[in-house]
A and B are shown apart, each in its own frame.
Chain A
Amino acid sequence: MSAVYVWIETFQGRAQPGSWEALGAASKLGLPVVALVFGKDASAIAQEAARYGAERCLVSEDATLESYRLEPYAALLSKLVQDNRPRLVLASATLRGRELLAASAADTNCALLSDVMTFEVNDGTVTATRAAYAGKVLSDVEATGETVFLTLRGRAFKAQAANEAASAQIETVEPVLAEAKIATKIEGFEAEAGGVNLSDAAIIVSGGRGMANNPKPAPPDAADAAVWKAQDGFKNTLQPLADVLGGAVGASRAAVDAGYISYAHQVGQTGKTVSPELYIACGISGAIQHQAGMRSSRIIVAINKDADAPIFKIARYGLVGDLYEIVPALTAELKRRLGK
């Protein structure tokens, strides 16, 4: 019986949580589930993959694969696919997952459906639903062929509860490319201060243009008072709320373009598409481009001065008022209730 391959994405020796969602989706198909783990501490991560549903693990800790690079990873994945012809190859639709599976699908001339929200495996086809036109419409798509590649939208599939007693058969695989054949070298890495992993966040607190209405006076040496106020608001008003919720801070394009916060935080058509459990939009009017990036969130809370703002049309809970009064009150209330 042909297998389902699941690429387990790792970064600095840790698995990316979306990979467990992909294993969860794979485990429901009634096909053998094989996890592919490459890189630093791959054997330890393979043990973890077993707890989330992998029956077999193909592992390499070769030095050429220590950190993710497309060429050596794609070369190895493509060889494994060519040699063993799995029915499906799955990964979470992260930056790396989308890139790696696309590359390997091209190498092996197989179909790829990316960033799918649901999928079904039939006799000769795989069907799936995905977003198109920047999330404004859905498309039902179909792929044919012996092997089909799929990347799965983050948080659209559920990981299994970890089974501590489970174990998997672990086999070592050899890399395909020697270092001399790899055209890219990683020279350095700078972690983002505070960390902005919006795609994985279960809760996102986002700020928009309204962040500039901070009542705190800007210092006289501030180059631009509105920018200073908004930056201060992101740091000292929104971040504490995100911290008490264990969430991440997002932003609208207007806030990013105005220089209030870095682009890594941008949610929307030209930023990230997110679907957290809870999305709290603060001072965001809710332009169609912003909605495209967050409207599939499970619960949307809108805090805005303007009762007519379009964001209230897609919100579950609406609070009209000054975010600089409501957000601190909310942070304090949550601290009290959650005992922090």
Chain B
Amino acid sequence: MHIVVFTRSTPDTAAKVEVDAGGAVTWGDAATVVNPWDEYALEEAIVQAKNAGGKTTVIAVGPEMHNDALKHGLAMGMDSAMRVWEDGLTETDSLTYATIAAAAVQKLGDVSLVIFGRESVDVGTDQHVYQTARKLGWPMLSFVSKIRAVDHAAGTITVERLLEEGKEVVTSRLPAVISVVKDINEPRYPSFIGIRKASKAEIPVLTSADLGVTLPAATTRVVAYRNLPARETQVEMITGTPEEQARILVDRLQEENVL
């Protein structure tokens, strides 16, 4: 069983991210980390491949900064890594991403499961996940909180999905694409040996020509990034006994017309 995980490098979750005077998004000296959702995807791939005696590949679609996430994946225990990119591509265009990602999986040839974290915090979306499944022509199981069973003989996977209304149990044919939520596992920390091995790894970079895919022209673009408007609220501190605080707060909320 060959399992692929797609990952990205994103600014550390605690970093203050802002738009500088030149319009670029910056996060100062803060480190980049593996996209927080992807750690669950990496952990699940390693566990499932171990159970099934399979192998794992971690792939990033994007420029060199994403090598950090790939190395994190290798340090956790993924077997191999690969990056796909070339100059002139629009990193935020999800159809570009999905077309490349699907071609990379097809190039590997023997993949039966692709795992994504539920979304990428930098681009702030999960659309590339579903679009990769469609470009592969594979079924998509999103928001997976547990893999109940992988039946190799029957070629099926049964999962629990965490939805707004509750938990859905679904069985799908393989190969399939899944996206995982943080209920699914407890990601391991990379071992010292793992980190050392990963730091020395040479990560191959492939282009669309290497994958034999023609990319459509991007149909979306980011025109500009902006800082959030400051919350114009001046906090009003409500003091007194708890009963007085409660009474004044309810007065205010009634004036604000929210009750």
- Across the interface, name the chain A residue whose C-beta is closest to B14: A288
CA distance A107 to B134 in the complex (A): 7
CA distance A319 to B253 in the complex (A): 14
- Chain B residues with Cβ below 8 Å from A318 are 235-238
CB pair B130 A133 closer than 8 Å? no
CA distance A112 to B134 in the complex (A): 14
- Chain B residues with Cβ below 8 Å from A105 are 95, 127, 131
- Chain A residues with Cβ below 8 Å from B167 are 189-190, 192
CA distance A71 to B134 in the complex (A): 9
Q: Give the distance to chain B from A143, nearest Cβ to Cβ, in Å.
A: 5
How extensive is the interface on chain B, given as a class?
35 or more
Q: Within 8 Å of chain B (Cβ to Cβ): is A225?
A: no
Total number of residue pairs linking A and B with CB closer than 8 Å: 255
- Chain B residues with Cβ below 8 Å from A114 are 125-127
Q: Within 8 Å of chain B (Cβ to Cβ): is A187?
A: yes
CB pair A133 B122 closer than 8 Å? yes
Main secondary structure of the interface of A (DSSP, over half): mixed
CB pair A143 B219 closer than 8 Å? yes
Number of residues of chain A lying within 8 A (CB) of chain B: 92
Q: Within 8 Å of chain B (Cβ to Cβ): is A300?
A: yes
CB pair A98 B249 closer than 8 Å? no
- Chain A residues with Cβ below 8 Å from B231 are 295, 314
Q: Which 3 A-B pairs have the closest CB atoms?
A: A106-B131, A111-B219, A102-B127
Q: Within 8 Å of chain A (Cβ to Cβ): is B87?
A: no
Give A contacts to B, CB under 8 Å: 11, 70-71, 74, 94-95, 98-99, 101-103, 105-107, 109-115, 127, 130-145, 183-192, 195-200, 203, 245, 263-264, 269-270, 277-278, 287-289, 295, 298-302, 312-322, 325-326, 328-330, 332-334, 337-338
CB pair B224 A139 closer than 8 Å? yes
Q: Given A137-B225, A189-B165, 6 more contacts at CB 8 Å?
A: A95-B142, A183-B176, A188-B168, A269-B36, A313-B235, A318-B235
